[in-house]
Structure 1
Amino acid sequence: MYGGLIIAAAALATFARVLAMMGLSIVTGWLLGYASLRSRGFESAYIPAIAVLESVPVIGFFPLVLIIFVERIGGPLGVEMAADFLVFDAVVWNIWVGIYQAFKTIPRDLEEVADNYGLGFLGKMRKLYVPYSIPRIAANLFPSFADGLFYIMASEVVSVGVHTYEVFGIGTLLTEYVAGGQMAGIYYSLLAIGVGVAGFMTLFRYFARASVAKYGLDTAAQIRRRERPAPRLGSSAWVTLARPMRRLSRYAASAVLASVARPVRSVSGRAPRLARAAGYAIGIAILGYIVYSSYRLIAAVPAATWSELLSDTPAMLYALAVDYGRVAVITGASFAISVLAGYYLATHVRASAIVIPAVQTIAAFPPPAYFPLIYMATYTYMEALPGGIGAEVYVFILGFLSTFYYVFFSFWMGVQSIPVEFWELMDNYRLGFWDRLRRVVLPATLPYLVSGISSTVNSAWGGLMVGEYWPGVVPGRNLEVNVGLMKLLDVYVSQGYLHRAAWASLLFGAVVAVYSLLFTERLMNLSRSRYVVEEGIFAA
């Protein structure tokens, strides 16, 4: 009984830690997303920074965590802050991307109404930006919660050489039970995680449906209330508008009728200019610090070491290209499965009520915890495949299980957010499944897909780092691919070649930043300019 209480308390501590960091991610995401709208310079630095930092596995932040929190702050507070920072790093990036993408796709009509009525920062956030971002936040709660649990053992227990730093949580108990071979404790801990995951995923799913119904622009999802019958699916009344959205729509109508009696208040351009200048100043300061730090680092490295690193660069870039090929395959498979399964589940409520909680629960369990069982049951068959194909299959499985839910849940929420008028239009034209996808569903959900795909691409590297080089995946056996940058990083660190690992990480970060500028930011701007489905309501 005493052990059961300890396990339950540890599970609650872990869940509280993850939920607190998710709440902090949402609040900071609102502030940073608004700043990116007001300053082009800040936006140009913000998106690449998210892409680079999101791509760095949580393990890569261990040195920073140890220096700042454990050594300088120290004590239980420093260790707790270190664990919280690692959990925050696991949950924050896709929430920030989702909020930024939501702010970028707000219909211009609503923004103009807010400007004409002279709403300030707090007024715009309370009545427009925050309500409009709620569905996107709801779509990202599932993967964020899963990511937080994915790294519970790495965040709650940090081992460096002979030193071990830990905080109270289910990850700490699991580490102790595994080290001591206490199978009963392991099973009960996994059961506690499963019960908590099932409960929180049920709450997240209800919140997701309620947020779409309340804050979406006339979607097909409805909230049934006892005091009135549920509206029909074909009704064209705007019964699901959020109160802030509905209020702004009324403002827009009354502004046209009262334009003669009351002039529209002009908006001063001083605040946007100040915000823009501040954003550029912050960006220049960050760039200057990076340049100065880079100069000091370059000057401290001997010429012989630079010659060695430059000679290794072609091999590193080739390994990075191979890894991008793996990421492309994982992303393509996630996209195809998400579109087919997500559309079906979004349009079939009964199947969704069964499948979605199951997928959410499975996604929340960390794949490295149960992957050795898969490897043990199949490695004799995989090793018979020629050319290291078996290892590639294992890496694909790890990467897919670690990231597929980004695209899946984003697309599933996007389909539910399509306004009901578009569903009526597709029914009236009797469009088939493929015509619906090509002409309406995929264009309408592009903002959601951009967010999900970018998070999938940027987060797949954690699965690759685990799978490309895993000594002792089961007793007496190693999992290892032939070529891969994540493998090189693991090998360099394990063999003590830290200068090579640092150089490979720098090349990796530079390529990710270029990818973000050429792909993520452009697609988000495209989705804002051409694929905001809610603007079709106003155009009609």
Structure 2
Amino acid sequence: MLAALAASTVFTLVYAWFAANNRYAEKVLVPLLDVLQSVPILGYLSITVTGFIALFPGSLLGLQFAVIFAVWTSQAWNMTFSLYQSLKTVPRDLGEAATLYRLGAWQRFWKLELPYAAPGLLWNAMMSMSGGWFFVVAAEALTVSGQQVSVPGIGSYIAAAIAAKNLGAIGWAILAMVAVILLYDTLLFRPIVAWADKFRLDNTVSVDAPRSFVLDFLRRTRLTQRLSRIPAVLWELSVRLLPPVPRDKPLARKQPVWADRMFYLLVALLSAGLLGALFFVLPRDFGWPQVGHVLLLGLITAFKVFALVALSALIWVPVGIWIGLRPRWAAVAQPVAQFLAAFPANLLFPLVVVAIVHWHLSVNVFTAPLMILGSQWYILFSVIGGASALPGDLREAGRNLGLRGWLLWRRLYLPAVFPAFVTGALTASGGAWNASIVAEVVSWGSHTLVATGLGAYITEATQTGQTLKVGLGVGVMALYVIAINRLVWHRLYEIAATRVRLD
């Protein structure tokens, strides 16, 4: 988990910076990120596990790397979207100040952009860490060439307990998860949150600033004080090696028209080639009636996802704002929210099956909430991060202007957290699409319930070994996710970057 988080952090810093600072890269990297997010995480595992095993024959090391890669894919996209959103909404006055101080791209990123993005990125990192537990359960019990292979870890233990219907073992696994989450929160996330509080865009001193006894201890130790000199030395060395920014910096030259035309021509040619290949392959391998049927199933799942994300937003946006504005409550809610997000939602599937069978409930209606059980927390964590970064002087200005009740929320709180909410809703939507593969086909013992939707289509095709149908289902899912992201969430990103940014 920790190795996957470290790899996700490095990927996030590099990928998000290029996407936010180069307009050609943005037009390629952001849609590519939509595609990567839309591919089911267990699909990555099925494709890469053989390659990792081949790299380390006769050793469990290859399987361990495959598990780390699977967990990485569950963490990286959420963190990258968060940092990208923050980089696109840096206040203009701070950007102008960085220009006046002649900060280069390297200094600007580490002195301005990353500190500004730190509160939201940290809360999304916590969510990513917690969300990775769900995929550890699936990734540590692998099927390779028809043979079940287990990697030592709590995920394989939970998978074995579910297979044996051993509720006592599942209970012990949950207790172990609680202990590990508390350790991570105490030793890692709480100290980082307390340290990063200094990066809040605020002109007032917070009375209820987050505290960490671990951070206080580390600050008082001589060893930590000596080690802290290493980053300072490396920073000075990097600044000296980079060329200085000229005092009279030339105005940014307008990109030549021919470069834009060449770029869009290349994109059009690639798109035309892809569409031509699809129109040749689809009728040959599937037939248009089956393609239309799968598109209809995708539309049904899309409606479920949209309704569930909207319902989750109505619940968790007010809760997240309330917690984020109260650091003391945030300190209490932080480990609780991490546990709820880390709790493997598939442990609740048997209870849903029993309830549906016992009371003869609708499978399509009552299995739908299973899709959002794990991903709804993206909205909560993102909103808490956005609310905790709200400057105190703006809150004081709101009180001085007499803003109360709904007017205060409509004029201040909701616009302030809107960019963070868009990031959380986008990743929650992607998570719900991923979860549909396991949530639309649930079983316990001899009872198996199948809902109508694209996730059920992919699951049934996987179980029967129909690789082409799996590819068709995954492709349609990617198509829907990209279309929704382009038409809805990225439009909201543009609104956040132009209308509700802190300028």
Please classify the TM superposition score into its range, dividing by the shorter chain length: 0.7 to 0.9
Q: Normalized against structure 2, the TM-score is what?
A: 0.82
Label 1:219 to 1:159 Cα distance change in 2 as closer, same or farther (>3 A).
farther
Distance (whole Å) between structure 2 residues aligned to residue 172 and residue 331 of structure 1: 30
Equivalent residue number for residue 379 of structure 1: 356
Distance (whole Å) between structure 2 residues aligned to residue 402 and residue 85 of structure 1: 20
Equivalent residue number for residue 4 of structure 2: 21
Shift of 1:311: 1.5
Contact 2:341–2:374 at 8 Å: present in 1 too? yes
Equivalent residue number for residue 258 of structure 1: none
Contact 1:391–1:479 at 8 Å: present in 2 too? no
Label 1:294 to 1:380 Cα distance change in 2 as closer, same or farther (>3 A).
closer
Equivalent residue number for residue 407 of structure 1: 379
Q: Which range moved further: 204-213 or 153-162?
A: 204-213
* Among 322, 326, 329, the residue aligned to 2:304: 326
Shift of 1:368: 0.5
Contact 1:219–1:420 at 8 Å: present in 2 too? yes
Equivalent residue number for residue 134 of structure 2: 150
* Among 99, 109, 112, the residue aligned to 2:93: 109
**Partner of 1:159: helix, strand, or coil?**
strand
Equivalent residue number for residue 440 of structure 2: 468
* Among 25, 34, 49, the residue aligned to 1:42: 25
Label 1:182 to 1:316 Cα distance change in 2 as closer, same or farther (>3 A).
closer
Contact 1:91–1:144 at 8 Å: present in 2 too? yes
Q: What pairs with 1:243-254 in structure 2 (closer than 5 Å)? A: none
Equivalent residue number for residue 460 of structure 2: 491
Shift of 1:183: 6.3
* Among 148, 152, 156, the residue aligned to 1:172: 156
- The amino acid that maps onto 2:445 is P
Cα-to-partner distance string for 1:307-332 (whole Å, 9 max, x where unaligned): x3311122222211111111111111
1:208 corresponds to 2:201: no
- The amino acid that maps onto 1:458 is G
1:30 corresponds to 2:7: no
Distance (whole Å) between structure 1 residues aligned to residue 56 and residue 99 of structure 2: 45
Shift of 1:450: 1.0
Shift of 1:209: 5.0
Shift of 1:35: 1.0
Label 1:131 to 1:319 Cα distance change in 2 as closer, same or farther (>3 A).
same
1:432 corresponds to 2:404: yes
Equivalent residue number for residue 247 of structure 1: none
**Partner of 1:464: helix, strand, or coil?**
helix
* Among 342, 356, 370, the residue aligned to 1:364: 342
Label 1:118 to 1:382 Cα distance change in 2 as closer, same or farther (>3 A).
farther
Distance (whole Å) between structure 2 residues aligned to residue 290 and residue 62 of structure 1: 27
Distance (whole Å) between structure 1 residues aligned to residue 421 and residue 138 of structure 2: 30
Structure 1 gap ranges (5+):
1-17, 227-262, 536-540
Equivalent residue number for residue 192 of structure 1: 176
Cα-to-partner distance string for 1:228-269 (whole Å, 9 max, x where unaligned): xxxxxxxxxxxxxxxxxxxxxxxxxxxxxxxxxxx9531575
**Partner of 1:133: helix, strand, or coil?**
helix
Shift of 1:149: 0.8
Cα-to-partner distance string for 1:277-333 (whole Å, 9 max, x where unaligned): 89x98x99999888878877877x59642xx33111222222111111111111111
Q: Which range moved further: 492-501 or 342-351?
A: 342-351
Contact 1:219–1:416 at 8 Å: present in 2 too? no
1:69 corresponds to 2:52: yes
Cα-to-partner distance string for 1:28-87 (whole Å, 9 max, x where unaligned): 211112211232121122222222221222111133213432235544343222121111
Q: What pairs with 1:484-523 in structure 2 (closer than 5 Å)? A: 484-523=453-492
Contact 1:116–1:266 at 8 Å: present in 2 too? no
- The amino acid that maps onto 1:480 is V
Contact 1:220–1:417 at 8 Å: present in 2 too? no
Equivalent residue number for residue 235 of structure 2: none
Label 1:85 to 1:365 Cα distance change in 2 as closer, same or farther (>3 A).
same
Q: State the number of aligned residues.
A: 465
Shift of 1:123: 1.5
Label 1:352 to 1:225 Cα distance change in 2 as closer, same or farther (>3 A).
closer
Distance (whole Å) between structure 1 residues aligned to residue 320 and residue 77 of structure 2: 23
Label 1:133 to 1:219 Cα distance change in 2 as closer, same or farther (>3 A).
farther
Label 1:297 to 1:130 Cα distance change in 2 as closer, same or farther (>3 A).
same
Contact 1:107–1:532 at 8 Å: present in 2 too? yes
Distance (whole Å) between structure 2 residues aligned to residue 49 and residue 198 of structure 1: 35
Distance (whole Å) between structure 2 residues aligned to residue 266 and residue 420 of structure 1: 35
Contact 2:124–2:378 at 8 Å: present in 1 too? yes
* Among 92, 100, 104, the residue aligned to 2:76: 92
Equivalent residue number for residue 237 of structure 2: none
Label 1:114 to 1:273 Cα distance change in 2 as closer, same or farther (>3 A).
farther
Label 1:507 to 1:219 Cα distance change in 2 as closer, same or farther (>3 A).
farther
1:138 corresponds to 2:122: yes
1:418 corresponds to 2:395: no
Cα-to-partner distance string for 1:103-151 (whole Å, 9 max, x where unaligned): 1111122223323443333212221222122112112022201221111
Distance (whole Å) between structure 2 residues aligned to residue 452 and residue 110 of structure 1: 25
Distance (whole Å) between structure 1 residues aligned to residue 211 and residue 131 of structure 2: 34
Shift of 1:195: 0.5
Cα-to-partner distance string for 1:173-226 (whole Å, 9 max, x where unaligned): 334455567766544333221101123234424533542443433477454899
Cα-to-partner distance string for 1:326-365 (whole Å, 9 max, x where unaligned): 1111111111111222233234455444444323212211
Equivalent residue number for residue 448 of structure 2: 478
Contact 1:146–1:363 at 8 Å: present in 2 too? yes
